[in-house]
Amino acid sequence: MTESVLTKTRIRAGVWEGVLEQSAEAEAPTLDVRHLEQSVAGVTVTAEDASTGRYLVRVPIPAELLSDGVQTFLILEKNSGDKLASFTIVTGELLEDDIRAEMDLLRAELDMLKKAFRRHCLETS
């Protein structure tokens, strides 16, 4: 079994893009992208340099799969079922329990504490 490494390069115009690297002796990869246990159509794997085992991977993100909340896509090697990568898209209003909302709240509280501490230091000096 060969070790494959899939690295994200970007998401642009509704398409996730990455580079898959594997040993040059391995066969061209066949990938399966899953969202809620359903396959995503239109995945392309193009040889960038087949002699070194580098492939460009493009995964279109169908608009009908996007809705409020967190959507996770898994990229699997089709024959073995090994997970190569995943990506997550957050849409709509931030969830109340979302870590980013918590971080924003902590930053605001920290700013408030810094101002109060500075004011206290000026008053006591």
Given pLDDT bands bounded at 50, 70 and 90, which one contains residue 46? Answer: very high
Range of the domain at 104: 94-125
Q: Do both 56 and 67 map to the same domain?
A: yes
Q: Do both 40 and 84 map to the same domain?
A: yes
Closest CA to 47 of 27, 32, 33, 77: 27
User: How far are the Cα atoms of 1, 31, 102, 125 from residue 71, in angstroms, in the given order?
Assistant: 31, 19, 20, 54
> Is 40 a residue whose pLDDT tops 50?
yes
Q: Do both 73 and 123 map to the same domain?
A: no
What pLDDT, on a 0 to 100 scale, did the predictor assign at position 50?
A: 67
Percent of the chain with pLDDT over 70: 92
Our CA dihedral for 27, 29, 30, 32, rounded to 10 degrees, sits at: 150
> Is 3 a residue whose pLDDT tops 50?
yes
Distance CA 22, CA 4 (A): 5
Q: Do both 46 and 65 map to the same domain?
A: yes
Please give the full DSSP string across 61-122, using - where no structure is assigned. Answer: --GGG--SEEEEEEEEETTT--EEEEEEEEESSPPTT-HHHHHHHHHHHHHHHHHHHHHHHH
Q: Do both 24 and 59 map to the same domain?
A: yes
Q: Do both 85 and 51 map to the same domain?
A: yes
What pTM was computed for the model? 0.71
> Is 47 a residue whose pLDDT tops 80?
yes
Mean pLDDT (the chain, rounded): 87
CATH number at residue 28: 2.60.40.10
Q: Do both 69 and 111 map to the same domain?
A: no
Percent of the chain with pLDDT over 90: 49
For tokens 């918590």, the residue is 102
pLDDT in tens, 70-108: 899 999 999 888 899 999 998 876 565 677 767 777 888
pLDDT in tens, 48-72: 876 888 999 999 999 999 988 889 9
Q: Do both 98 and 122 map to the same domain?
A: yes
Q: Do both 71 and 111 map to the same domain?
A: no
